[in-house]
Structure 1
Amino acid sequence: MPPPAPVDVVLGHHWLLELHGCSRSRLDDVAALQQDCLDAARAAGATVVEARFHRFAPHGVSGVVMLAESHLT
């Protein structure tokens, strides 16, 4: 196992977004959310490995985009 990185070395960034005023219908549209996440990952220059999304009944969507560099959920 490699030695730990020095504390002053940035290995990555963790972004947590809290969004308001989003379209309820869009948030329940699994295809649209998946496309939005894929577009965001590619716009950031990430390499998409795989994407898995699931729509729950009666509402709700969960998803993950696996990236060569990290992940987007």
Structure 2
Amino acid sequence: MSDDGLFQLGMDLEARDYEGLRMPAFDEPRSTTHTEDNITVAPASNGQDERLDHFIEKEGVRYAGSHLIIDLYDAERLDDLPYIEETLKTCIEEAGATLLHIHLHPFEPTGVSGVAVLAESHISVHTWPEAGYAAFDVFMCGDAEPEKCVAVLERAFTPGRSQVSELLRGKEVA
């Protein structure tokens, strides 16, 4: 793949040596649409790191995070890339998640695919405007509330019908 192709995917080509480890260079943007905010991990009062993507325990079940599969039917504005980007940002804000970067790609003649990478995981989108259909995956760990994204998406795209499925990821991790 060419250097330009990797840039369009939001990938850095350079790597730096940090304490003997070869690590990607994060001083510059890793997305073609946004720069990444610096995310810090603060020590908790118990001396452990407080991660934004920590495991969750609810009603006696411990899991990595909630993964919502959201299908919108007879939806509108599914080819409006700036509108989709703003809607993803609203989802992230209302869910209490942390945006790292967004990359959206328009297709010809219609459609948008992309991902918002979060400290807590991701939101992906694939649209078929000619069919009025959009598929969203909302996966969030930690204290984020991915279920709040459902109302945001329904308000934004006014589907005639929506369907939501939930997977609790990582339930088998010891």
TM-score (norm 2): 0.36
Structure showing the higher strand proportion among its residues: 2
Where do 5+ consecutive residues of structure 2 fail to align? Answer: 1-54, 56-60, 125-174
* Partner residue in 2 for 1:19: 72
- Distance in 1 of aligned mates of 2:104 and 2:70: 19
* Partner residue in 1 for 2:92: 41
* Partner residue in 2 for 1:60: 111
What is the RMSD computed on CA atoms of the aligned residues?
Answer: 1.4
Q: What does the per-residue CA deviation read over 1:37-67, in whole Å, with 9 as the maximum and x for residues that have no partner?
A: 1110111000000001011111110110010
Fraction of identical pairs, as percent: 37
Q: Which one has more relative contact order, counting CA pairs under 8 Å at least 6 apart?
A: 2
Structure showing the higher helix proportion among its residues: 1
Conservation of the 8 A alpha-carbon contact between 1:64 and 1:71: yes
- Distance in 2 of aligned mates of 1:57 and 1:20: 21
User: Is 1:69 aligned to 2:69, yes or no?
Assistant: no
Where do 5+ consecutive residues of structure 1 fail to align? Answer: none
Conservation of the 8 A alpha-carbon contact between 1:34 and 1:63: no
User: Secondary structure at 1:53's aligned position in 2?
Assistant: strand
Task: Give 1 or 2 for the bigger CA radius of gyration.
Answer: 2
Runs (4 or more) in structure 1 with deviation over 3 Å come to none
